[in-house]
C-alpha cells in the first residue's frame, strides 16, 4: 500500500504541475525567438539565454499571481518582480550593466534586450491566473504567437552571415519547442480538467502518454524537413522535441533528483577505501593512488543516477500494471 500511495502521489504531482510548467516553457520559447532576432540578428552578439532562461521569470509571475494575495499587494509584488527580472536580465551582459550603472537605460536595453524581455516574461506568467483556463490561454497564445514570430524570422533570416546561422541555431529549436510544448500544455490542461470531474485514474494517465507520443511523432515528421529547409542542425530538432518531456520527467523525478544529489554530495566527502600514500615524486607531494579524478567521480554519479532513474520508471510501470490488474 505504501508503494502504491507513493506512486499515486508522484503521478498526482505531475498532473497538477505539468500544465503550468509547460505554460512557462511555451512563454519562454516565443520570447527566446524574439530575443534571438533582437540580440543576434540586430545586435550582432552571441545569445547567452535560451527558452528555459525566460521560462523561469514566467514561472515566477505565474506563481505570484496564483498566490492569491490582496489586490494592492498583488500589483505591488508583480511590479517588484518585473523590475527585478529586468535588472537581472540586463546585468547578465557586462556592457549593458555598465550602461545601466551609468544611468543610460536606453543603452542598457539596446546592448542586451534580455532585461526588457525578462520583465515581459514575468507579466506573461501573470496572465496564467486561472488553472481551469490554462488550455484557453495557451491556445490564444499560439493563435497570435505563431504568425507573429514571422517577423523575428524575417529579421533573423535576412541577417548577414555568420549571424543568420547563429540566429537559426537559437530560434529553430525555440520555435519547435513553442509548438510542441503548446500542444502538450493544451492537451494536458484539458485532461487535468477532466480528471477533476471524472476522478484520477490510470486510464486517464495512459491518455497522457498517448497524447505526448502523438504530439512528438507529428512534430518529428514536420521538424526534420523544416530543419533541412532553414539550415538548422538536426540536433536542434531533438532539443525542441525533448524539452517538454524533460520538464515532465523533471517534475516526476524531483524528489529522486534531490535525494540523488544529496547522496552524491555525501559520498564525495566519505572515503570509500583506505588511502595509502605513494612515494613523493621529486620536488612534489605524494599522490594517494586510491583517489579518483573528478571526471571519474562524475561518471560514477551519472551512471548511478541513470540506473536510479531506470529503476524508478520500472517501479512506476509495475505499480501501474498492478493497479490496472
| DSSP assignment string, 103-137 | T-HHHHHHH-THHHHHHHHHHHHHT---GGGHHHH
Q: Would the CA dihedral through 162, 168, 170, 171 be positive or negative?
A: positive
Closest C-alpha to 272, from 309, 295, 297: 297
CB 248 within 8 A of CB 212: yes
Q: Say how far apart CA 271 and CA 278 lie, in whole Å.
A: 17
The count of other CB atoms within 10 Å of the CB of residue 253 is 19
Model pTM above 0.85: no
Cell of 60: 515566477
Q: Say how far apart CA 303 and CA 127 lie, in whole Å.
A: 41
**CB neighbour list of residue 276: distance below 8 Å, 6 or more residues apart:** 288, 289, 290
CB 178 within 8 A of CB 147: no
Q: What is the chain's pLDDT, residue by residue, as a tens digit (325 residues)?
A: 455 555 555 556 666 677 788 889 999 999 999 999 988 888 888 888 888 889 999 999 999 998 877 888 889 999 999 999 988 888 888 888 888 888 777 778 778 888 899 999 999 999 998 887 888 898 899 999 989 999 999 999 888 889 999 999 889 989 988 988 888 888 777 776 666 666 555 455 666 667 777 777 777 788 788 887 888 777 777 767 766 556 555 555 555 555 555 555 555 545 444 444 445 455 544 444 444 455 544 444 445 545 555 554 554 554 455 445 4
Largest CA distance in the chain: 76
Amino acid at each position: 500500500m505504501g508503494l502504491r500511495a507513493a506512486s499515486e502521489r508522484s503521478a498526482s504531482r505531475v498532473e497538477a504541475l505539468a500544465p503550468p510548467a509547460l505554460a512557462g516553457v511555451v512563454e519562454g520559447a516565443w520570447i527566446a525567438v524574439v530575443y534571438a532576432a533582437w540580440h543576434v540578428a540586430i545586435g550582432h552578439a552571441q545569445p547567452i539565454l535560451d527558452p528555459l532562461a525566460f521560462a523561469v521569470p514566467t514561472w515566477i509571475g505565474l506563481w505570484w499571481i496564483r498566490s492569491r494575495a490582496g489586490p494592492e499587494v498583488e500589483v505591488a509584488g508583480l511590479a517588484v518582480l518585473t523590475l527585478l527580472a529586468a535588472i537581472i536580465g540586463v546585468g547578465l551582459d557586462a556592457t549593458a550593466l555598465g550602461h545601466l550603472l551609468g544611468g543610460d537605460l536606453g543603452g542598457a536595453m539596446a546592448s542586451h534586450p534580455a532585461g526588457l524581455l525578462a520583465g515581459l516574461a514575468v507579466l506573461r506568467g501573470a496572465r496564467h491566473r486561472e488553472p481551469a483556463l490554462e488550455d484557453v490561454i495557451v491556445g490564444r497564445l499560439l493563435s497570435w504567437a505563431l504568425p507573429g514570430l514571422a517577423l523575428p524570422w524575417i529579421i533573423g533570416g535576412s541577417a548577414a552571415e555568420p549571424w543568420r546561422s547563429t540566429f537559426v541555431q537559437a530560434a529553430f529549436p525555440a520555435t519547435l519547442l513553442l509548438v510542441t510544448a503548446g500542444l502538450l500544455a493544451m492537451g494536458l490542461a484539458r485532461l487535468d480538467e477532466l480528471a477533476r470531474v471524472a476522478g484520477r485514474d490510470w486510464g486517464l494517465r495512459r491518455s497522457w502518454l498517448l497524447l505526448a507520443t502523438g504530439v512528438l511523432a507529428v512534430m518529428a515528421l514536420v521538424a526534420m524537413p523544416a530543419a533541412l529547409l532553414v539550415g538548422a542542425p538536426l540536433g536542434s530538432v531533438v532539443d525542441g522535441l525533448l524539452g517538454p518531456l524533460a520538464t515532465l520527467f523533471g517534475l516526476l523525478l524531483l524528489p529522486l533528483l534531490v535525494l540523488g544529489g544529496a547522496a552524491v554530495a555525501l559520498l564525495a566527502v566519505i572515503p570509500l577505501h583506505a588511502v595509502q600514500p605513494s612515494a613523493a615524486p621529486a620536488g612534489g607531494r605524494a599522490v594517494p593512488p586510491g583517489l579518483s579524478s573528478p571526471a571519474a567521480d562524475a561518471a560514477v554519479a551519472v551512471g548511478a543516477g541513470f540506473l536510479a532513474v531506470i529503476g524508478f520508471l520500472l517501479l512506476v510501470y509495475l505499480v501501474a500494471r498492478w493497479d490496472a490488474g
